[in-house]
Structure 1
């Protein structure tokens, strides 16, 4: 990291040490796939950077908060980060372990060295100096507080920074185990137990499948409609077919095609308690960000009754749950497969570029570039493919600005020698 320590002090006693660092190049918040993609592209532009990451390694979500059987739900060609392809020997749908191997190789290839254990608590634009001031607390060094200062700030902390656990009446009375999907690793320890999974997205479906395969008795609570599509149709990936059709046809027409083929392959999902939303799978993704479920085996177990679909939970009791349809059932464990949310509003002061939900507002000319050297990557709702595209755009924009700064600095004070991070 090419930085200059501007000031350093100690408040005395047990107060954490505080310091300030001027950063040469942009500050990137987050060392997940989005942050790594920005860093790699900046490296290709020979622009230095500093990555602040709150965990102790890259890709914290994939490393520490996903279950063992997880695979990419889309073919690998749609999940590659900029400039480096997956190894040819990897399967079409890489496993969690294979994807992490790819990310670590990607990080090494571009010599990316994030500052780990740095939790960003505040970021604000200083109008007086036209600089971003980013405060981070170290998990080591006695909780040292450092203010990083830069002309550019890249928000790459992602849409999945914090778990979402809904409030359920009576939860404190439930005697069984309660966990979020981020804590679930395998269904092995639930063998023979009745497990209620709250949520019917891709994670909820796949955990029910995993529970079944480990001898548990899973029940899936469905609150609202969900589109279930086969992962592949007509010999190709469903996502790939959709992307090709969207080049020529409007979203509504592509949705009609997908639902027609899905019904031919899967049958009527509503007969088994999975009501389809009024909007089509691609349209609802555009409007709400909610992805359709790409089935990897759970659907056949729902049809056979091995995975039982139940209504929304109304309340919990000591031994189980009561549902909005009046039914009551006993359970040994409860898993919230209720997703994640962005945590950007808790630390970024940006004058309204982000919504209260921590997502960039749709505005012209883009939703990846904000005012005053602010950029966001990984918030497009288009997965790894969208994050990669935004990373390339953001890095190129920063590189142009950074090079202008270097030319101006060289003209004013002689050429400076600057080493990339």
Structure 2
């Protein structure tokens, strides 16, 4: 056996659970397919800041430095993770891609190329945004422009003076659309299949995700009417600017689809100014034009697919019966499943109160759970 616990993934979730386990004296190995701590954060688009405030985003055992401000920039988040790893003496084994997880008697075996890692417990912390979900649209070979996934979007300067169709009105799509307008894109269309619930980042001094923490377990019928009034009061009637009204409330939509509200960090301003144009869902390409579900034809120079991510777990654990039809863990947190004892998942949900806050809670709970079961070899 290589370790009592194998943690797969060295992002915030993997580092947090490893630190909590280490404090309880449980031997842990962390493996990660990347090359350095914070690597995925540094690769994200320049504008990105956390939507949860500093106080709600820290991992167990280390506050985020005050000088990083209230809303943490992506590079500062990467620096915080590096600091966190040093503080807890965590040394992930990088360049290690887990291809498959198997049972071998009472142990788990992770297959990584020509290497086998064995452990009594495994914690999968590979990230909510593990693999880009890039749709393939019929007729796209006729499109002479560029099609990129949002994961490859870095900075808006390249798109100055160009006509851009952003597909997807979640947080990433909305933020990219605002970024493009602010840096000189000629036209920006925002295509959506499901109209989002748009909410302000904060109400007065109170961050919206702190308010959402109290809604996490409340019935949708009780809190969503309040949410609708708050949305209307703070942002106004966005249908006047072409944004379709959402078909469900904030909590109802999040529970039905797993999609959290779109937090406004610039989009509403440009909707009101007519600089971002909401349009129907992207359907196909025809003769080089983008054709929408309502028949509208557009001629963008670039299409940016802000169409989300998948967990990427199917080839690794899909054969174990622990995933739902969308490839998400059936249990995400401290509990394990009967068919996969001592296998846990962390950081693979997107709750209303914020993913990092949920990671903090789950890391501590997982460490307590494993420590109770732990028996020295």
TM-score normalised by the shorter chain: which range applies?
over 0.9
Q: 1:136 aligns with which of 101, 112, 115?
A: 112
Q: Secondary structure at the match of 1:25?
A: strand
Q: Aligned-pair distance for 1:381?
A: 2.6
Q: Does 1:397 align with 2:369?
A: yes
* Equivalent residues of 2:166, 2:305 under 8 A apart: yes
Say whether the 8 Å CA contact 1:227–1:293 is kept in structure 2.
yes
Query: What is the deviation of 1:159?
Result: 2.1
Secondary structure of the 1:282 match is: helix
Identify the match of residue 163 of structure 1 among 121, 132, 149: 132
CA distance in 2, matches of 1:77, 1:102: 13
> Does 1:387 find its partner at 2:359?
yes
The correspondence of residues 20-419 of structure 1 with structure 2, limited to 5 A, is 22-64=1-43, 66-126=44-104, 129-137=105-113, 145-216=114-185, 217-244=187-214, 250-348=219-317, 351-361=320-330, 368-370=335-337, 371-382=340-351, 383-402=355-374, 405-406=375-376, 409=377
What is the CA–CA distance in structure 1 between the aligned matches of 2:211 and 2:373, rounded to whole Å?
A: 38
- Check 1:93–1:109 CA distance in 2 against 1; reply closer, same or farther (3 A cut): same
SS in 2 for 1:119: coil
- Greater C-alpha Rg: 1
Q: Distance in 2 between matches of 1:200 and 1:368?
A: 33
Cα deviation digits, residues 307-348 of structure 1 (max 9, x gap): 111111222145431222222121111100011011112112
CA change 1:182–1:250 in 2 (3 A) is same
Secondary structure class of the residue paired with 1:46 = coil
SS of 1:195's partner is strand
1:419 maps to what in 2? none
For 1:63 and 1:299, how far apart are their aligned partners in 2? 27
Partner SS, residue 150 of structure 1:
strand
SS at match of 1:89: helix
For each residue in 1:133-164, what CA deviation from the matched residue of structure 2 results, as whole angstroms up to 9, or x when unmatched? 11013xxxxxxx10011111111112211100
Counterpart of 1:4? none
Residue 32 of structure 1 deviates from its aligned partner by: 0.9
Q: CA RMSD in A?
A: 1.9
SS state of the match for residue 384, structure 1?
helix
Per the TM alignment, residue 349 of structure 1 is displaced from its structure 2 partner at its CA by: 5.3
Larger deviation, residues 348-357 vs 148-157: 348-357
Deviations 1:254-304 (A, max 9, x none): 222222021022111233333233321123212321010110111110111
How many residues get paired?
371
User: CA 1:167–1:368 in structure 2 vs 1: closer, same or farther (change >3 Å)?
Assistant: farther
SS at match of 2:66: coil
Change (3 A) 1:288 1:324: closer
Helix, strand or coil for the counterpart of 2:223?
Answer: helix
Q: Which runs of 5+ in 2 are unaligned?
A: none
1:362, CA displacement in angstroms? Answer: 5.0
Q: CA deviation at 1:79?
A: 1.4
Gaps of 5+ in 1: 1-21, 138-144, 410-421
